[in-house]
Structure formats: structure tokens, C-alpha cells
Structure 1
Amino acid sequence: MSEYKFINREISWLQFNERVLREADDDSVPLLEKLKFLAIFSSNLDEFFMIRVAGLYDQVEAKYDIKDVSGYTPKELLAKISDTAHRLVKDQQKIFRKVIKECARHHIVIQPEIDGELSDIVESIFNDEIQPLISPVTLSAANPFPFIYNLRQCIFVKLEKGGETHYSIIIIPENLQRVFKIRLHRTYCVTSEEIIARCLPQVYPGYKVMDSYTLRLTRNADLTVDEDEAEDLLKIIEKKLSSRKKGNVVRVELDKTAPDEVLKFLQERIGFDNEDVYIVDKPLDLTFLFSLTDGNPELMYPEHKPFVPYGLTADENIFERLKERDYVFYRPYHDFGFNSALIRRASVDEQVLAVKMTLYRANRGSSIVESLAEAARRGKQICVVIELKARFDEERNVGWAKKLEEAGCIVTYGIPGLKIHSKNLQIIRKEPQGIVRYSYLSTGNFNEATAKIYTDIDYITADEAVGHECANLFNMLMGYTDYADWNRISVAPTGLKAKLISLINYEIENALAGKKAEMLIKINSLIDKELIMKLHDASRAGVKIEMIIRGICGITAGVKGLTENIRIRSIIGRFLEHPRIILFHHGGKKRLFISTADWMERNMHSRVEQLFEITDKNAKEFMMTILSSNLKDNTKAWVMEGEAYRKLKPAESEEPHNTQEFFIGKQIGH
């Protein structure tokens, strides 16, 4: 094991989030899109602390001090994370200050000086919309320090009355509008905490307001469910959701105007270590920048209008069209609205007898869920496997489960101990020649909102062999039957990893025999130790390996005698790269697969995932176009050098190639 070089998962993730942050400092990115990348960086970091850092603290508390494969104990890793995260937050603050100066030149003023006419408007907003909602707690023997929920902004106030110092805290309501846009000769963007701080004398009549400081806590928000003790998974998930806001503190954000005495006071009452403290400029929590990215289309990416390829329409003839050939959809360039319309068509088509579907994440107001409910009310057999443990979507999925059950759908929750991450839909239709099964396999969720910003592959086929295997997958998910006779589909945790290893071994054998051997792997994360070591074996055997890994990457490229045949790149752009596509040269036969699984232990062993082989000639050619375009990208791609990444720039002799812009401008699928 010692000869293998692994990159730590958490450090690699922070490198990925740094690449996201750098988009906010890229001159080619439109101004308001830069605000969006700053917000994404903040949102990503929130989840990282709530889940990954929280888990490390749990290990330290349990006195677990064994080094991981990258050589860190949990305590050592927390120190490394703290150093890296503090540096990145400082970088974010610097970029934010640069971007808001640029915004001001376009008459969008963030953090304005509140005076003149603006002062009167701010005071009116406070009186009408904010003051009725806030409940200050002035600390005393009768009013102890209140509990501060996860990610809740607070204002800590220092007061003076009768020569005595008092402290008070205002926990800003979760449902209070975070930012108010005031349009005068410019657009002024004022946060709710700025307005409250401005109007504190009205909150504390009889006191002298000495100063105020903004505070935000991040808590352990991991949701652990012991399914063996859960007689009703739906009920236990509902109970567990309330505990998410009350976990231990893992990060404290405090504005830099706060003196040491305030930090010490808070430390004594809340309980946190110095390395957990992030002293930052106001405003804290830049996720509010998401709300500032509308109304100025000239400062955004040009509007992207997805289209339905192949001339398809979800009309009464759609099922005849789907029998003609296999169809590949590449969202968001292709319109996911067709997929929603297909399900809607199936819900009202008299010849459709049943619909089966996995549901991992769905958007609010999902028309797909509405269509399934309507189909059940029309007497069709609707079977939905809902993953209640999809992180941060648990509450929404509980609601969908209840809605679908009330409509008459058969709703199940998968297999105890495993998350259902496969993305499948099957429409069963009675036709003159008999029962026809239309199968839909995807790398992405049935989520109409994220389908506009994630790149993913949807594959639709009426191939009976695929329909048979999809039916077996649903039988496994809904009836816990262990069906092992797979051909086109491989399923985790039973056979997917073994299939990948077998395919890699075939390339190794060819390389050792002096034959051409290549792999092209596009995934989101690579951290599975066994697969990494198998890639090491392949590289040493002479297999040429191109990898496009957006996020976490545990392997180091270009190490002599170990990974010198491996090249790794990451693409960060307008859309979030999400499909998993794997191509093996396979002695010239070129076997191509799409998958829901990243190459991580959890995906291989703790989830139901699918790997699907695409055999249709046209579909394979299209998928290889996607891969080759990814490899040509020289504007949004980062290449790994050692354990670090370098942003690519077109050489003087090269044409710039942005793979996402390429597909926006290419009417693929006509």
C-alpha cells in the first residue's frame, strides 16, 4: 500500500471548490455570473463543513487516530482543512471586493453607504417588514444565551445603560428576505442584517448602542439513520430532520470588526475552538448573491434555449417514433421538457398500463410527480421507488412520497442500507403486437430545475432486451430479489465494480501483449482505492488513460513508473458537468458505457447504481463527440500537474475551444 500515492478526499474537494471560485475572477465570465460563482463557492463550503468536517470532528471525539490512505489522522486533516479553507475564504473576500467595484460601475451597488434618500427607504423597510419579525434577547440571569440554529445569521449587540454594559443577540428569522433591492438612479442591494444594524436604536429604546457584530454558526448536519431499528423509514426520516439544525458547532463566521473580548465571550457560551473561527468582512454568507443575478441579461451569459432533437414531439404518435431507434438526449443542450412531456403523455395514453420510476431528487412543483399522480388516479399501475435519504432533499422527498401514495401509487423506499442512486423510468404499453417496454436510463435526476444547469445523458430505447433488464432492476428495488443475469446493465453493489475491473484488465492484457490499449473516463469523483490501484496497474502496463474528473480526485497523474500514462483534467464552466461516460478501446471494438456511479467506495458498495452499455452505432458516435470535445477544451479546462491544477489557455497556434459553448452552438441531434 505504501508505494501508492493517494490524494486526500477532503483536500481534493477544496481544490475543486477553488476552481469554482476562480470562475468569479475570470475576465471571460459575465459580471453577474461572477456573483453566481461566488455564491456557489459559499454554498459548497457550507455543505462541506456540515457533512465532511463534521464527520472528522466525530472521529476525533471518538478518539479515532488512525492515518487514512493519504497519510492523515482526522486531527491532522482538520488542521490542514482549516489552513486551506481560511486561505480560500480570504481569496473569496478579495475577489468579492473586486467584483462589487465592477458592479458599481454598472449601477449595481452592493453594500452601499446608507444615507440621504436611501436612509429613509431603509428605515421604512425596517419598520414595515423587519421589526415585526425580530425578537432580541438581552442577556441576563433570566435570559441566558439562546440556542443558535445551523446557518442562522445573528447580530450580537453591545449596549450601555446607566453606566453598565449589556449584551444582546438578534437571531435573524429564517424566513426574512435576505436582500432588498432598492431602485433609484442605481440599484442598491442592502442585506437584512445591514438594515437591522442601521436601525438598532429603534430596537433598544432606553439603551445606548455601543456597537454590533454579525455572527453565523455552522453545525453538524449529517443525517444518520439506523434502518435496522426503523420500522417505518418515512416516520424516522421525518423525526431526524428536526435534529439537523441542532448539531455541534463546526465553524463560526464573525465579522472582522468584532474585538477579542466579544470573540472570547461567544467562545465561552457557544463552545468552539480558535481554528473554527473565520474572521471575515461583512456581509457574511455570500449565498445571497444568487438573488442578484436577474434583471440584467446584458451582464449574464446569453440566454440558452434548449431544443428537442430528432424532431420529436410527445404527441399521440410518440411511442411509434420511440420504436424506430434509440434516442440520446444531452441536457441542457437538449430540452428536458420533452422527457417531462413524455411522462405526461404516458399518464393519459389509454394503452399505457404501467409506469415504474426511481426518484432521487425532484424539483418543487415537479410536473413529473404530478403526471405520475394523475396516471395513478386514471387507474394505471404506478410504482415509484423514492430515496428518502437523498441529502438535503429528504424533506421534499417525504412530501412527494405522501402525495404519490395518496394518489394511489405504489411507493417503496428501496433496500435497507443502500441509497437508490440509479436513474430509471419504464413505461409499459399494450400494443397490437403485445406488451412493449420503453426504458429510460439516465446519468441525472428527474429534476426539471437542475436539468437546465447540469449536463447529463438521457437514453431512451424500446429494445426488449434492455426492457427486460430494466424490469429486473425494478424487481430488485421493489421486491429485494437478487437477479444476477445482467448483460447490458451492471448494478452496484453486486456487479458494477467487478465489471469495471474486468474491462480495465482487458486493456491491461492488450497493452502487455503489445496491442493498442486505451481508456477515456469522464466521471465526477475518483476516490475508490481498489479502482485507483487498478488504474495504476493499467498505467504501468502501458494503457493510455485520459480522465475528465470534475471534482474529487484521489490519484496523482504523471508520476514516473506509476501514473505516467494517465492524464487528468477538470472542466468548470457555465453548466455543472455531471454525466459519467466511460470508453474502452477493447481491441478496437470500442465499448462505451454511461453510468450513475462515480468511482467512490460509497457508490460501489453502499448505493444501488447502474452502468449501461450503449451499443447503438449512432449513439456511440454522438457520445464519442462529447468526449472528444471535452478533451479539446482549452478555455474552461484545468489539467492536473503533480497534485495541483493549472488552468489551460489556448496557445497562439490554437483556436479557443469551450466544450459547453460548442454544444450550445451546435444543433446536435437533428
Structure 2
Amino acid sequence: MSKAKKISKTINLNDSQYYFNRELSWLEFNRRVLHEALDIRTPLLERLKFTAIFSSNLDEFFMVRVALLKEQVAAQLSQQTADGMTPQQELEAIHHHLHPMVSEQHRYFEQKLRPEMASHGIHLLNYIDISLEQRSYLQHLFKQQIFPVLTPLAVDPSHPFPLMANLSLNLAVVVKAPQTGEEKFARVKVPSILPRFIALPNNSQVENGKINHWTGVPIEQVIAHNLEALFPGMIINEYYLFRLTRDADLELAEEEAEDLLLAIQQELRKRNIGGSVVRLEVQSSMPQSVKRMLMAEMELNESDIYEIDGLLNLKDLMSLMGLPLPELKDPSWTAVVPPRLRDFHQLSKIANINDEEKNIFAVIKQKDLLVHHPYESFTASVEQFISQAANDPNVLAIKMTLYRTTGDSELVSSLIAAAENGKQVAVIVELKARFDEANNITWANKLEKYGVHVVYGLVGLKTHTKIALVVRREGEEIRRYVHIGTGNYNPKTAKLYTDVGILSCREDLGADLTDLFNYLTGYSCQSYYRKLLVSPVNMRDRIIALIHREIEHSKNGNKGQIIAKMNSLVDSQIIAALYEASQAGVQIDLIVRGVCCLRPGVPEISENIRVISIIGRFLEHSRIFQFHNNGQDEVYIGSADWMPRNLDNRVEAVVPIEDDEILQHLEKILEIMLADNRQAWELRSDGSYIQRRPEKNEPERCAQNILMEMAQRS
């Protein structure tokens, strides 16, 4: 057992040298995503998927994080982050780290992945490499289906530089008038409404339901080789591809917004073309004259330009995941029905069993139920919970928070059915869920249309907590059933994200959720909760108190231990408390998928702290916190990461687990994650990550595969 060391000098735990920069830590996370695209152990189409995810992640990073830094620099703000960097220094560091990373991505795709695709019959060709017959086909297709959609825009004194949409792929075309020899510039937008990769006919061959050959060409090359149709009578001198990224974070002065819904709708109209340009990706062959013109019009610096060899916007490679080539993908996975619900599903089919015995509420009433997605079915558990509540005549009310979901999900249909069945239905819709705002507005309007009470969150706070409350009459009593989870109520992401949740009818949890919903829908200054840790009310203080309790146990000669799994660790107050715990001899294991600003393994500071990150086929999204508590283990689950935004600017809820069987199961999950030697990366004190590999004669332990096997055996 590690004991507390006597520190010979006073150490300032807030010193910037003990913190990693948030933005650079995020870039390291995306580097780990890119590694999955480079790792030959990953199936080919999955490698293309990770290539696409890397690019998609970068888009959002520039639209939000880089855009914010640029605004701070423009406002001449010089406040330092916990790691001691100013906004300008952060921008410079981002570009320094990112330029070679992007070059590596494109080089690997062109030199490795593209040839490997061809070896498996997936031919993504350049236009110049196709046959005359194939060119004839594409020319006909261009005239019939592509040409009518295109709009060339000239740039000259009578035609100002055109507004260009965020993330649009464009052709910069230089044409020459044959009579005068004068060169002119025009822009042609590649239409995103059409497929990015045009499949060639008679080349997609299917045998026994399996494709063995696919050939396609990028649509921008089809357009580029048919520019004469867009500029008749002109000489096409040259053309170059470019793609721009704008600031797309909504700017809402909520305290001044009389109508939050209207304010967000107005901001959404401006997002696509209103934000300043923060990045320009250009074809590497683009000459300086064209590049300088684009930079001047978009007010960019040289560091904002990313020169690309090969295809721009590799995010579109995700479409190739639709090819029916299962041997080039991860083995398919179908979530299992949670064991205790299997009996319920069987009972529901027996006609002579009392209705009260064959509903999901009877199962929950026996004891708390843990659900673990995507290993266990979201449909057979959470959706079933809301669906039965909607149609159960004994249910009086349903309340839910919805952060990200789909308008066509069964959950939305069930909520509408509940309202039509005369139940009180209240839904807190978070309109400020980034990049889901328009979707949330659409189905929130649909819910309101059918009589659901819709509340659009709180001024100044995002409602990020994942909670549902069902109020049910049972004889002479009223019983409250709850779901508290770590993931969005989204059936699509429930198949891709790892999340946990509990279904319970504990009275204290029902009372806490009632108070929390009253806080969200009405006027309340609720500051006391029986069991829940709630932000921004008490969560940070409670978490730090739990860490300090482990410190006291360790100082008293007992074992101090903390295991915590989350998406990101940024909050400097919690990090300082963890450093203090490490100094006291508390053993700390952190499973942090993304950003981690804590520096592990520093002598006299964090030598008792270990950090790993797991990147795999499923996105690690669950938050689980375990405190040893001198042998009386406490485990919590919930929606919050240890970040200032979660603890100060969002409504979050974390719940303690009181069922021994569930507690042990969650501890087993953490144990499996910590033992991973296939997809786990260890964070070193210099900020770099090293991927674990099995030692000689050591079996491979992939946590996600093990959890799938456990689910199948359950």
C-alpha cells in the first residue's frame, strides 16, 4: 500500500506546470482517433470510418474552439489558462501541432488506404485515370443531373466576392476571355445535395449478395472536367479546390432574449454564412496568387491555411461504410435484452398472467435495474419503460429531459401517445444542444402540437442531465419510477455510445427528481437533494468532499482509492484535489476518453495517479465514479464530466448506486477497462500517449469485446 509522503517543501498545486492545455489535449485525443485509421489491426472500412471521424472532429474543433480563441485574440484578451497560455499562444500551438497531423492523415490515405481499397475491389479513381467509355458516361450524367444544380459565380467589380457556406467544397476557377486575353476568377460550389462519390455503371458487381467490385469518382472532378459547359466561349486556364470552415457557435445573449426559441432560430439562420472564416483548406497545387486572394477576402493568416495533397474533406469517406462488405468491417453486434427484462418479455406473452405482473414496473419494483448500452438493448429497456408508461392507465404523469434525440424515435411517439391518453407530460428540451438546435426545434414543435408541455431549458444553463420520471397510481398509493443515465435519449447513438443507467422506484430518488423537475420547469431555489449530486448546486463540492474523504482514510493508515471514468477532465479545482489525494497516498486510476488536463506521474505531485484513454468501435461515453471509502465502496453514475462547463454552466445529475449487485457490476466494468491492452492508451507526464500492447504470451484483452461476450453469456 502506498503511503503518504512527507513533502519537504510547500508545493503550489495550481502551478501551470502541472496542467495540460485543454486544446492540445483534445488534439492528442483526435490523434488517437487517427491512429485507429492507421492501425492495420482495424478492418479496412473501419479505418476509413476513423479517417472520416478524425476530419469531422476537426470541423467541430475549428467551428467552436478555434473560433472562440480567434474571438479572444481579436478582443485583445490575454487571460491565461490553467496551463499558463494566452489565446494567441494557444492558436500558435494548435497550428504547430495540427499541420503535420493533417498531412499525415492525407498522406496515409493516398499512399496506404487507397491502394488497399483497390486490392479489395474498391476503386476510388481520379477522373484522369478512367476509360473513355467511363468519361462518356460521366459527361452524360453531368449534363443530366449535375449541371442543372450548379451556379457559377463571377468575381469582378460588378460581382462582389460571394458569400460561401460553412464547410462548403468549392472550385476556384480562372478563365480567360479569348478576345481580350483578360483573366477572370469565378467560384463554383460543389453541391452537397448530390453524392460525393459517383459510382460508375457495370462496375458494382454483386455475387451471392456480396459486392466484389465498386468503382467511383469524386463529384468535384466530374465538375472540373466539364467546366466548359459552365463557362461557354471562355478558356479554362486552371481550377483549384478549396473548403472553408466558419465560426458556427451560437452567440446568445440569453438574459436579453425574451423568446429563447425565436432567438435560437434567428441565430441558426446566420450560422451557415454569418460566422467569420476560421480555416481554409486548399489544394496544394493552388498558386500563391489565388491563395492570397482567398486569404484577403476571408481575412485569414498563413497559419489558417491547410494545404492538402489529394482529396479534400475526407469526412465523406463515411459513405463507403454503406458498401455491403461485412468482412471489411467489425463483426456485427446486436444488443441483448437485459436478463431481468427477458423474463418480463416472456411474461408479457402469457395471457393468464395478471397485467400488474407482466409490466416493466413490476420488474423495477423488485429491485433497481442497471442497463448498459450498447451491450444491452436501449429499445428493450429505456424505450420500453417510456412506452409502457404512455399506455398504462395507472400512469398519471411522465417527465423527461431531452438533450439530443431523433424526432422519429419511439420515445417521441410514446410521449405524444401519453399526452393523447390524457397524462400529464412535460419535456425539458435543450435548444442549445450544439449542432442539434434545428433538429431539437423541429421535434419540440411536434411535441407541443400534440399537447406535451415543452420547456426550453433555463436561462444561462444547458440542461444536460439525462433523467426521466414516471408517476404511477398503485392501489391507494402513488409510486414514482425513475431513469437516471449517462447517455442521451437517442436510439441511434445508443447503438454506438457506451452508457449506463438505472431504473428505480426508490422513494428518495423519486423525490429528488420531482424537486429537480420543479426547478427546471418552474421557479425554485432548491439547494438540497437527498441523494443526487446536482450541478450547478452541489456537485463540485460533493465530489471534492468525496476525494478529501479518501485523503483522510489514507492519512489514517487505511487504503485510499479512486477510480473514475469520464469523457473529459478539465476542472482545475478537482484536479488540485486529486493531486492532494495522490500526495496523501491515495491510488487513483482515471479512464478519460478525451481531454485530460491533469498531468500524471509527476514526482511528489501525481505519482499515484494513472490515466488511460480507450478508443474503440464504440464511443466511450459513460461516467462512473468509484470511491473506496475504507472498504464501504461508493459508486456514482451520471451525466457530468469533471469540467467547469458541466459543474457551473449545466444542469447535471449524478446518482449513488445502493444496490450491491449493481455496484459490483459497475466495479467489474471499471476493472475490465483498466485491464485493456488492445485499445487503451496510457497518458505520460509529458502529455504523450502510448498505446498498450499485449506482452509476449499475454492474451489480448479488448474491454469492449469482453463486455460484448459478457452480455451474450448473461
- Flag whether TM exceeds 0.5 (same fold): yes
Equivalent AA in structure 2 for residue 247 of structure 1: G
* Distance in structure 1 (CA, Å) of the matches to 2:408 and 2:144: 30
Amino acid at match of 2:362: E
Q: Is the 8 A contact 1:227 1:416 kept in 2?
A: yes
Residues 309 and 669, structure 1, Cα contact 8 Å, conserved in 2: no
Which of 237, 250, 254 is matched with 1:210 structurally? Answer: 237
Please say if residues 407 and 443 of structure 2, whose CA atoms lie closer than 8 Å, have aligned partners that are also in contact.
Answer: no
- 1:423 matches 2:423: no
Distance 1:4 1:135 in 2: 53
Q: Which amino acid aligns with 1:111?
A: L
TM-superposed CA distance for 1:262, in Å, is 1.2
Match of 2:334 among 294, 300, 305: 305
* In structure 2, C-alpha distance between the alignment counterparts of 1:173 and 1:110, rounded to whole Å: 19
Structure 2 counterpart of 1:108, one-letter code = I
Q: Is the 8 A contact 2:395 2:470 kept in 1?
A: yes
Q: Check whether the contact 2:16–2:83 (CA below 8 A) recurs between aligned residues.
A: no
Paired residue for 1:87, among 100, 107, 123?
100
1:123 deviates by: 1.7
- Asked if 1:127 is matched to 2:143, the reply is yes
1:358-397 to 2 correspondences below 5 Å: 358-397=401-440
Tell me if 1:46 matches 2:59: yes
Paired residue secondary structure (1:323):
helix
Q: Which residue in 1 is equivalent to 2:252?
A: 225
Partner of 1:252: 280
Is 1:116 the equivalent of 2:132?
yes
Match of 2:669 in 1: 626
Confirm or deny: 8 A CA contact 2:535 2:651 kept in the other structure: yes
How has the CA–CA distance of structure 1 residues 148 and 165 changed in structure 2, closer, same or farther, with 3 Å as cutoff?
same
| Alignment match, 1:19 | 32
In 2, Cα distance between equivalents of 1:233 and 1:311:
43
Q: Any stretches of 5+ residues in structure 2 without a counterpart?
A: 1-13, 204-212, 349-354
- Corresponding residue of 1:144: 160
Q: How does 1:537-552 map to 2 (within 5 A)?
A: 537-552=580-595
Q: Does 1:153 align with 2:154?
A: no
Counterpart of 1:523 in structure 2: which amino acid? M
| One-letter amino acid matched to 1:528 | D
Q: CA deviation at 1:306?
A: 0.6
CA distance change for structure 1 residues 360 and 68 in 2, over 3 Å: closer, same or farther?
Answer: same
> Which of 97, 117, 121 lines up with 1:107 in the alignment?
121
Structure 2 letter corresponding to 1:227: E
Amino acid at match of 1:229: E
Aligned-residue sequence identity (percent) comes to 39
Contact 1:155–1:172 under 8 Å retained in 2: yes
Partner of 2:5: none
Could you tell me whether the CA contact under 8 Å between 1:357 and 1:426 is conserved in 2? yes
Write the letter of the residue equivalent to 2:379. G
Change (3 A) 1:660 1:615: same
User: Does residue 1:190 correspond to 2:204, yes or no?
Assistant: no
Residue 280 of structure 1 corresponds to 308
Q: Report the alpha carbon displacement of residue 198 of structure 1 after superposing the two structures with TM.
A: 1.8
Rounded to whole Å, the distance in 1 between the matches of 2:696 and 2:436 is: 47
Contact 1:309/1:668 (CA < 8 Å) preserved in 2? no
In structure 2, what is the equivalent of residue 486 of structure 1?
529
Q: Quick check: 1:4–1:533 contact (8 Å CA) kept in 2?
A: no
The corresponding residue for 1:236 is 263
Whole-Å separation in 2 of the counterparts to 1:16 and 1:114 = 38
Q: For 2:372, give the aligned amino acid.
A: Y
C-alpha distance 194-364 of structure 1, shift in aligned 2 (>3 A): farther
Structure 1: which 5+ runs fail to align?
Answer: none
CA RMSD of aligned residues (A): 1.4
* Counterpart for residue 570 of structure 1: 613
After superposition, the C-alpha distances for 1:77-129 in whole angstroms (9 at most, x for unaligned) are 11110111111101111221211111000110123423333212222321222
1:323 counterpart (365, 368, 382): 365
How far the C-alpha of 1:525 sits from its partner, in A, is: 0.5
Aligned partners of 2:501 and 2:637 also within 8 Å: no
1:523, CA displacement in angstroms?
Answer: 0.7
Equivalent residue for 2:374?
A: 332
CA distance in 2, matches of 1:610, 1:184: 56
Q: Equivalents in 2 of 1:212, 1:308: separation in Å?
A: 55
Displacement of 1:625: 1.1
Paired letter, 2:705: E
What is the DSSP-based 3-state SS (H/G/I as helix, E as strand, rest coil) of the residue aligned with 2:116?
A: helix
Taking the aligned partners of 2:476 and 2:332, their CA distance within structure 1 comes to 45
**Structure 1 residues 136-185: Cα deviation after superposition (integer angstroms, max 9, x where no partner):** 01223222221112111111111122222121111223423322233534
CA contact (8 A) 1:426 1:439 kept: yes
DSSP 3-state at the match of 1:459: strand
Deviates more, 1:169-178 or 1:352-361: 169-178
Find the partner of 1:269 among 286, 289, 297: 297
Query: SS at 1:132's partner residue?
Result: helix
Partner SS state of residue 373, structure 1: helix
Aligned to 2:352: none
> Counterparts of 1:408 and 1:384 in 2: how far apart (Å)?
11
Compared with structure 1, are the counterparts of its residues 531 and 668 closer, same or farther at alpha carbon in structure 2 (3 Å cutoff)? farther
Q: 1:353 to 1:146 in 2, by over 3 A?
A: same
Q: Which runs of 4+ in 1 moved over 3 A?
A: 183-186, 313-316
CA shift, 1:433, in A, is 4.5
- Give the 5 Å matches for 1:408-419: 408-419=451-462
Match of 1:173 in 2: 191
Report the CA distance between 1:47 and its aligned residue: 0.4
Deviation at 1:311, TM superposition (A): 4.5
C-alpha contact 2:107 2:309 (8 A) present in aligned 1: no
In structure 1, how many angstroms separate the alpha carbons of the residues matched to 2:80 and 2:369? 48
Please tell me whether the aligned partners of residues 635 and 657 of structure 1 are also in contact (alpha carbons under 8 angstroms).
yes
Q: Is the 8 A contact 2:429 2:440 kept in 1?
A: yes
Query: Is contact 2:17-2:83 (8 Å) kept?
Result: no
Q: Is 289-298 or 542-551 further displaced after alignment? A: 289-298
* Conserved? CA contact 2:398–2:468, under 8 Å: yes
- Amino acid of the structure 2 residue aligned with 1:218: T
Instruction: Name whichever of 528-537 and 124-133 sits farther off.
Output: 124-133
Residue deviations 1:618-662, cap 9 Å, x none? 101110111000011000000011211101000014211000011
Match of 1:659 among 697, 703, 710: 703
Which residue of 1 is the match for residue 182 of structure 2?
Answer: 164
Q: Taking structure 2 as the reference length, what is the TM-score of the superposition?
A: 0.92
- The 3-state SS of whatever aligns with 1:610 is strand
2:520 is aligned to 477
Moved more, 353-362 or 316-325: 316-325
Task: Give the CA deviation at 1:402.
Answer: 0.9
Give the Cα separation in 2 of the matches to 1:77 and 1:657: 37
Letter in 2 for 1:332: P
- Separation in structure 1 between the aligned mates of residue 331 and residue 300 of structure 2, nearest angstrom: 45
CA distance in structure 2 between the aligned counterparts of 1:343 and 1:495, rounded to whole angstroms: 29
Output the amino acid matched with 1:283: L
Shift of 1:260: 1.1
Match of 1:293 in 2: 321
Tell me, in whole angstroms, the C-alpha distance in 2 between the residues paired with 1:657 and 1:456. 20
